[in-house]
Structure 1
Amino acid sequence: MTLRVNSFTLNNKREITDKIVREVLVLFKVEVVGRRGEADFAQLSVVNRRLPDTETGLPQVESELLLFDLKGHVRRFVRRGTGKADEREGAAVNRLIKLNLYRIFREELGMPEAPWGILHGVRPTKIVHRWIRGGLTEEAIVARLQEDYACSEQKARVITPMAFRQLPFLRTSDEKTVSVYVGIPFCLTRCLYCSFPSNILPRESKLQEFMNVLTKDLMAARDAIAYYGFRVQNIYVGGGTPTSLPDEFFAQMLEMVYNAFYGPDTVEFTVEAGRPDSITPGKIETMKRLCVSRVSVNPQTMQLRTLKRIGRQHTPEDVVAMFHALREAGIPHINMDLILGLPGETAEDVRDTMEKVVALEPDDITLHALALKRGSRLKCLMEEQHVELPSDEETRRMSEVAMSYVAAAGMKPYYLYRQGYMSGDLENVGCCRPGAEGMYNIQIMEEHQTILGIGGAATTKVVDFRAQRMKSSFNAKDLVTYLRDVDIYIEKRRQLLEDACGK
């Protein structure tokens, strides 16, 4: 269901207000088509007013939505809301604006319920953790999610027990505990839906240049860890597809990472192997020799026609062979990533994929909802060639099917994050058997731990325990810029650490 208007106005031009109001418009598929576009209404206007505080001192917000039809007649809708005592004032005002508008669209304009309500942020469990620290019970948190954020009970009952389940893992970290992320920004081919900053594997001379720069970046991070007395809990080698590197480059890279960071405090060493066409017996042997404890195998789907459609150069049988090869090598934990909402698929396709994946008995299955980003070829093809994607309703059925399979396999959700423009307004959720939780996944999503980013498109996140905040620096997504400016990124990382941990 789409609502098309010729124009949109907002009384408050604050950037944050504009952002949160537009999030609601995107959520309910409101399109501003311009004066010449075919529209259902001439204009949609939103007016938000801060009302005088009540005796309790809690902020109150009134939101008014005006809808002008094509003949000039206007319909007016109003909702009011009051903040909560445990909210910061600014956060309460922003939440109330979104909640008021959400209720108008749902109750007055008949728009369908959004599973996550107004929980638009990447990390919804952070709100749950804040309430846990405030002493709320699980049932009280479920109720608050529904009341304050219009979150469905189903989603509230996913993230609330998940947050409680994460507590023992989060307690393993302190201000001297860090993780390391190494970004290898190369792939053998670029998938149709991909918007990640990856590059097709270049010629050997360019690879050698990358390895030289990566070595410099990596050694600087190693020295910083030694200087501050950090303990490396987790190492994560991601991308791109790290195993797209030729065998000798892969071995050289992984040995550098192991020698620089692996130690007695390391509990998890992960490599994203991704695709069967990137794996070789030599790479498996390298990972086994260097104590890699977790490998991601990412079929995305087990439907051959879909694999061809999205640009994957392998078959479902290749995925099975890769999985068995890793198992036989003794890799302790194998994760498998799947995508819900791929072009041309149905819930029955997902059912078939889940049967095949669950039969392999992976330790961890991560279910991603397709996020349609501007940088992907799929976005362009949809606009130019009208490529069809499953409807939101069908994508939600896919999620229900997939979650039923992971539950039947004895897996429970242990981390979750959301992105913009996700099919079905869903989420990315990692589910695993007991004892197979990915520590790095929990730490990076809950932002309780410093993570040093090395390599192409890597992000460094430094927790300042004194100021109780996190600051980030970003290596360039563009490979040429990263290779040229690596000294700048090393200095930014050093400065972040100095500001937060300076001796």
Structure 2
Amino acid sequence: MKIKTFTLNSRQEVISKIVREILNLFKVEITGSKGEADFLQLSVVNRQLTPSEDGTGRGVTVESRLLLFDKEGNQQEFCRRDEGKGDEREAAARHRLIKLNLYHIFREYLGAEAAPWGILHGVRPTKIVHRWIRGGAGQQEIIERIQKDYACSLEKAEIIVPMAFRQLPFLQTSDDKTVSIYVGIPFCLTRCLYCSFPANILPGEKQLRQFMEVFRRDLEAGKKAVEQYGFKVQNIYVGGGTPTSLPGEFFAEMLEMVYNAFYGPGLAEFTVEAGRPDSITPGKIEAMQRFRVSRVSVNPQTMQQRTLKLIGRQHTPEAVEEMFHALRGAVPHINMDLILGLPGETAEDVRDTLEKVTALEPDDITLHALAIKRGSRLKLLMEERHVELPSDAETRKMSEVALSFMERGGYQPYYLYRQGYMSGDLENIGCARPGAEGMYNIQIMEEHQTIIGIGGSATTKVVDPVTSRLRSVFNAKDLATYLRDIDVYIEKRKQLLEEIYGNAR
């Protein structure tokens, strides 16, 4: 639907944001006065009814009206109202009901296609499920409620709810003093077409040495914090970028520093993102084995040669298989990442990719739906109409194909998150064989545990043990800024940890 102008009866940023989420979900485009449009104007009017108006007195009731004006000035008006639940905060109920009302107006009156996740637009939809679990709700009750309150499809509800219950034993392994360490190595050999991550093309030896010196200071400060507050390190995750893009000597040095700082008898997981075959050597595999890396992420994204070339990957599907077999004897646990919705691909391409990947028998597989990010070359090429993506319908077929392979292979969903502008309105979902779940993935996605971030573009996320609220500080995404201002970032992390944990020592 294309409209010339849009109006909303609220200037609150949060209201504007949630209304525009619905407009984006249903691909409503605001063309402005110069563009061709189906309607002259779309207006949204929301109001919270008083107890005397709603006639129930039970809680929050919101009425939403959507007005459409055609090119002749004729007006169509659609109205819907709904009431909140007793366990919702007033503001949360009001915001949910605005989205739900508008969603149903688009579906019931304007013929819009149902969205798989309904109005669940947040990054971590499982957090809602965990809140209801803590309130004592059972699995079937939550499946029914998430469909009604969030218009979530039965298919997605039957993924996310059992998954949240499966996460409980993992989340219970962590207490107030249990933390994970994230290590950011912000380098890649090349930049993929779809990438918007803060990664730098691998620099020369002089700048790498400068990075390693700054990284050592960052690491030592993180180690001191762990010792100072008596933290127990549960997981170490070395990500990026592509950490294995570091030359062999630098890679081994980095692993040794991390190992000496944080490895201990209580460590559950030591993960390194190995990424792609052109970044792996026998020496790097030996270093990972020597420093007891327990989990490696191999990210082919696709096993279609033409797609690999298009997205900027300088390797073949055969090289992925060779890399996998080389790592299999050295590292106990291998994860593989795939992307659904890549340019030019079909559901049959995904079927072929999954046949090749599952034949390798990785321990877990992460299925990503392509997210179109502003900072990526793909976004620019789409705007210039040089690249076309599969339709939402085709991307959803890809997801159905991929999940059927997961079910047949004995892989169960164990963590999930969503991003903006995802193909097919889908999700990123990690699937593992029982016993092979990635502990760090569960902890960080459920924001249940403090994560101490070290390195380029790393984030420290501190969970307040009293309020359970999350607070964060960030290292610079820009490499030059990180190298220049490392003392600033160390101090910010130090102050946040002291503020949250200082009185608990």
Whether TM-score is above 0.5 comes out as yes
The alignment of Structure 1 onto Structure 2 pairs a total of residues equal to 500
Q: 1-side partners of 2:386 and 2:121: how far apart?
A: 28
1:490 matched to which residue of 2? 490
Where do 1:278-427 residues align within 5 Å? 278-329=279-330, 331-427=331-427
The superposition leaves residues 462-495 of structure 1 with CA deviations (integer Å, 9 ceiling, x where unpaired) of 0111122110111111111111111111111111
The RMSD of aligned alpha carbons is: 0.7
1:74 matched to which residue of 2? 75
1:18 matched to which residue of 2? 16
Q: Which moved more, 1:128-137 or 1:465-474?
A: 465-474
Where do 1:241-280 residues align within 5 Å? 241-280=242-281
Q: Which of structure 1's runs of 4+ aligned residues deviate more than 3 A?
A: 54-57
1:386 Cα deviation (Å)? 3.4
Q: Which moved more, 1:53-62 or 1:166-175?
A: 53-62
SS at match of 1:502: helix
Q: What is the TM-score of this pair, normalised by structure 1?
A: 0.99
The superposition leaves residues 66-123 of structure 1 with CA deviations (integer Å, 9 ceiling, x where unpaired) of 0111111111000101000011111000000000000000000000000000000000
Q: 2-side partners of 1:68 and 1:114: how far apart?
A: 25
1:37 matched to which residue of 2? 35
The superposition leaves residues 366-404 of structure 1 with CA deviations (integer Å, 9 ceiling, x where unpaired) of 000000000000000111133110000000000000000
The superposition leaves residues 120-150 of structure 1 with CA deviations (integer Å, 9 ceiling, x where unpaired) of 0000000000000000010000001000000
* Aligned partner letter, 1:186: F
1:132 matched to which residue of 2? 133
2:102 matched to which residue of 1? 101
* Aligned partner letter, 2:398: M
2:169 matched to which residue of 1? 168
* Aligned sequence identity (%): 74
The superposition leaves residues 193-233 of structure 1 with CA deviations (integer Å, 9 ceiling, x where unpaired) of 00100000001111111111111111000000000000000
Q: 2-side partners of 1:90 and 1:490: how far apart?
A: 36
The superposition leaves residues 234-279 of structure 1 with CA deviations (integer Å, 9 ceiling, x where unpaired) of 0000000000000000000010000000001101000000000000
Q: 1-side partners of 2:205 and 2:57: how far apart?
A: 68
Q: 2-side partners of 1:68 and 1:474: how far apart?
A: 46
Q: 1-side partners of 2:363 and 2:247: how far apart?
A: 27
Q: What is the TM-score of this pair, normalised by structure 2?
A: 0.98
Whether 2:232 is the aligned partner of 1:231: answer yes
Q: 1-side partners of 2:138 and 2:286: how far apart?
A: 47
1:44 Cα deviation (Å)? 0.6
Q: 1-side partners of 2:478 and 2:145: how far apart?
A: 42
Q: 2-side partners of 1:448 and 1:467: how far apart?
A: 12
1:56 Cα deviation (Å)? 3.8
Q: 1-side partners of 2:404 and 2:58: how far apart?
A: 46
* Structure 1: tracts of 5 or more residues without a match: none
Where do 1:185-196 residues align within 5 Å? 185-196=186-197
